[in-house]
């Protein structure tokens, strides 16, 4: 059928052109799928080494979930095997470092772990000699692992065995090439005697979910406090002091020392109020006493003003009041004094009145009667 429209030579040319076009498209697609992504990834910065997920000593992914284990006693540790670094200690310390420390301090100890961005102050860089709180010596690092550092995210690792803590301290020292200094010989001897003196007791271990289940089953809520009847003499005080009877009962049950004396009861009731179900009456009594003392002070001030207003306003008393006590005179008083002294021409009486006339007391000016005796 096609032979009627196209000659055999033209058909061969069309088929060859179609094959060349399809081949070119296929090669372009393979280039876009294979070569272009490789060129794009070649310009990316090198990725940080992956951090292994923390695992418990039993190999479980979650360190808080592992089979229950009965406690046991460890024999005394030979000080010579832990106070000096050896390949076995460094290998154990590296394993502990990867499980507990890499998330903050990073794989190489530069303080650049995944969790370091949200920590202030930032984790310690073990490769630098400056910035160590307790020092870079072996005993100082062991002290940091044992006690932690207050005011930072470095918590105590005293739950780790003493031998493992020493292995971790040796590995932390191996991360820095700077001189770490010498330890105190007396402190080394004391630590060696502590290791050789007695063994170490490993307590029983249970997973966290089992511990929480036991706490929930063993918890017995205390019965709410029974408030006294309204006709009781102490009913009003108890009603003001107890905000939540259920919480108050839990607070008192958790601190049985409140039964010893009134001071112990006040200490328990005043801690964490009103979340503990109790309300301290001390502030209320202080506010009320402060209100009463303020009212008494106002009454005393008013009585002084009234007694002061009743004083005779003679020329002698006005002059004595002005010169002796330093109290000011109002404008009417200055006119009365000026008229009684006969000084209308700006004499010494006018000058004396000008000195104190424009002053004011903390209260109101003294009222002066118009007549002079």
**Considering only the top CATH level, what class is 72-202?**
mainly alpha
Give the confidence band of 167 by pLDDT, cuts at 50, 70, 90.
very high
**pLDDT for the residue 362:** 43
**pLDDT for the residue 173:** 93
**CA pair distance 199, 73, nearest whole angstrom:** 7
**pLDDT for the residue 256:** 85
Residue 13 in this model has a pLDDT that exceeds 70? yes
Residue 105 in this model has a pLDDT that exceeds 60? yes
Higher pLDDT, 243 or 304: 243
Residue 85 CB-density burial (10 A; 0-12 exposed, 13-18 middle, 19+ buried) = middle
Q: How many CB atoms lie within 10 A of CB 222?
A: 14
Angle between helices 331-341 and 348-357 (to 10 degrees): 170
Most confident residue range from 130-144, 303-317, 345-359 = 130-144
What is the mean predicted confidence (pLDDT) over 212-217? Answer: 88
Residue 89 in this model has a pLDDT that exceeds 70? yes
**CA pair distance 289, 14, nearest whole angstrom:** 111
What is the mean predicted confidence (pLDDT) over 31-60? Answer: 67
pLDDT tens column, 335-363: 443 444 444 444 444 444 444 444 444 44
Any idea which of 117-121, 141-145, 243-247, 365-369 has the lowest mean pLDDT?
365-369
**pLDDT for the residue 191:** 86
Q: Produce one character per residue of 92-114: b if its CB has 16 or more CB atoms within 10 Å, e if not.
A: bbbebbbbbbbbbbbbebbbbbe
**CA pair distance 149, 133, nearest whole angstrom:** 8
**CA pair distance 170, 158, nearest whole angstrom:** 16
Give the confidence band of 55 by pLDDT, cuts at 50, 70, 90.
low
Residue 145 in this model has a pLDDT that exceeds 90? yes
Residue 283 in this model has a pLDDT that exceeds 90? no
Q: How many CB atoms lie within 10 A of CB 264?
A: 14
Give the confidence band of 303 by pLDDT, cuts at 50, 70, 90.
low
What is the mean predicted confidence (pLDDT) over 25-40? Answer: 83
What is the mean predicted confidence (pLDDT) over 127-134? Answer: 89
pTM given for the model: 0.46
Dihedral sign computed on CA atoms, order 278, 281, 282, 286: positive
**pLDDT for the residue 223:** 86
pLDDT tens column, 237-281: 888 888 888 888 888 888 888 888 888 888 888 888 888 888 866
**pLDDT for the residue 196:** 84
**pLDDT for the residue 49:** 59
**pLDDT for the residue 288:** 45
What is the mean predicted confidence (pLDDT) over 22-35? Answer: 88
Percent of the chain residues topping a pLDDT of 70 = 68
**CA pair distance 245, 227, nearest whole angstrom:** 8
Among 80, 77, 113, 107, which residue's Cα sits nearest to residue 94?
107
The CA distances from residue 354 to 22, 328, 340, 347, 363, in Å, are 115, 10, 16, 11, 20
Give the confidence band of 332 by pLDDT, cuts at 50, 70, 90.
very low
User: Could you tell me how far CA 139 lies from the centroid of its own chain?
Assistant: 29
């Amino acid at each position: 059928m096609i032979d009627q429209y196209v000659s055999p030579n033209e058909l061969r040319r069309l088929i060859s052109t179609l094959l060349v076009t399809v081949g070119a498209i296929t090669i372009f697609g393979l280039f876009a799928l294979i070569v272009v992504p490789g060129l794009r990834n070649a310009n990316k910065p090198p990725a940080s080494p992956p951090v292994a997920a923390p695992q418990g000593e039993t190999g479980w992914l979650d360190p808080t979930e592992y089979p229950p284990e009965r406690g046991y006693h460890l024999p005394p540790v030979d000080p010579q095997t832990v106070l000096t670094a050896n390949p076995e200690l460094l290998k154990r310390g590296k394993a502990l470092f990867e499980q507990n420390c890499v998330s903050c301090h990073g794989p190489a100890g530069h303080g650049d772990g995944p969790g370091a961005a949200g920590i202030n102050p930032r984790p310690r860089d073990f490769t630098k000699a400056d910035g160590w709180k307790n020092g870079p010596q072996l005993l100082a690092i062991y002290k940091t692992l044992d006690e932690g550092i207050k005011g930072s995210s470095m918590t105590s690792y005293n739950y780790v065995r003493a031998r493992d803590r020493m292995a971790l301290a040796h590995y932390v020292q191996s991360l820095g090439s700077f001189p770490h200094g010498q330890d105190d010989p007396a402190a080394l001897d004391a630590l060696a005697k502590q290791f050789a003196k007695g063994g170490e007791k490993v307590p029983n271990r249970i997973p966290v979910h089992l511990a929480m289940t036991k706490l929930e089953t063993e918890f017995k809520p205390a019965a709410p406090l029974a408030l006294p009847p309204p006709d009781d003499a102490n009913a009003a005080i108890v009603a003001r002091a107890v905000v939540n009877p259920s919480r108050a009962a839990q607070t008192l049950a958790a601190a049985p020392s409140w039964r010893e004396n009134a001071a112990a009861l006040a200490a328990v009731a005043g801690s964490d109020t009103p979340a503990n179900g109790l309300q301290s009456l001390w502030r209320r009594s202080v506010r009320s006493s402060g209100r009463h003392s303020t009212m008494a002070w106002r009454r005393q001030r008013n009585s002084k003003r009234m007694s002061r207003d009743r004083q005779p306003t003679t020329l002698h008393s006005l002059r004595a009041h002005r010169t002796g006590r330093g109290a000011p005179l109002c404008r009417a008083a200055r006119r009365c004094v000026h008229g009684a002294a006969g000084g209308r021409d700006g004499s010494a009486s006018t000058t004396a009145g000008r000195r104190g006339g424009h002053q004011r007391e903390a209260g109101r000016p003294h009222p002066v009667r118009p007549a002079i005796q």
